[in-house]
Amino acid sequence: MNLYAEKLGQPYDEGGKMAASGELNKNLLNQLNHLNFYNEDPPKSLGLEWVKAYIFPVLEASKETPRNILRTFTEHIAIQLACQFSEGKKVLITGGGVYNSFLIERLQAIRNIEIVIPDGSSLTGGNLFNDKSFLILFWSHFLAINLFCGGWIVKDSQKFGINKILIAFPLLITYFIGPIGLTLYWFIRIFYAKRISLYD
């Protein structure tokens, strides 16, 4: 969307104000909402390359003004996001989109959900969870630690001959919430090893 904000002399659409002042092009919106991608079965993901290949051509072919494109594309994003959530659910949103007040407003108008925006802070006073570099770093550490714990559980369970089916649940929980999964396995281990120590 920054591309069209730049055409209006701004680096980005602050708060979605430009989009809010534009007019909705229903024909363009219909074309965007009927792109084949949305009907494909998962797994699937979006990237800038896909946007350039499939979204930009549709937007450019519309011959609409940048302001109206911003309005229509914002509505399209809100509709597609709304399709992913059930009514009344609580949804955590991070990244640059949290600053687009108009997008958040349209999303809540389309789907009755409670949007949660984290308000943690970094050393510079910004929001850590809005920093993509921090999110990548956090996620990679999260995966590494949990996978390490999962690997330890598998090796340790083999030492005591613990049934594989029995450790499946602790392993699954460890992937999502490491300490809880590790604790669950610890109780199973006590039963099999007949001791509490984790150092043998």
pLDDT in tens, 41-81: 888 787 888 888 999 999 999 999 999 999 999 999 999 99
Residues 35 and 111 in one domain: yes
User: Bridge-partner residues for 140, per DSSP?
Assistant: none
Total structural domains within the chain: 2
Q: Tell me the CATH number at 15.
A: 3.30.420.40
The overall pTM is greater than 0.75: no
Pairing mode of beta strands 90-92, 114-116: parallel
The C-alpha atoms of residue 125 and residue 128 are separated, in whole angstroms, by: 9
pLDDT in tens, 125-183: 445 556 667 778 888 888 888 889 899 999 988 888 888 888 899 899 988 888 898 89
Cβ-Cβ contacts under 8 Å for 74 (sequence gap 6 or more): 1, 16, 19, 100, 102, 103, 106
Q: Is residue 82 part of a domain?
A: yes
Three-state secondary structure call for residue 116: strand
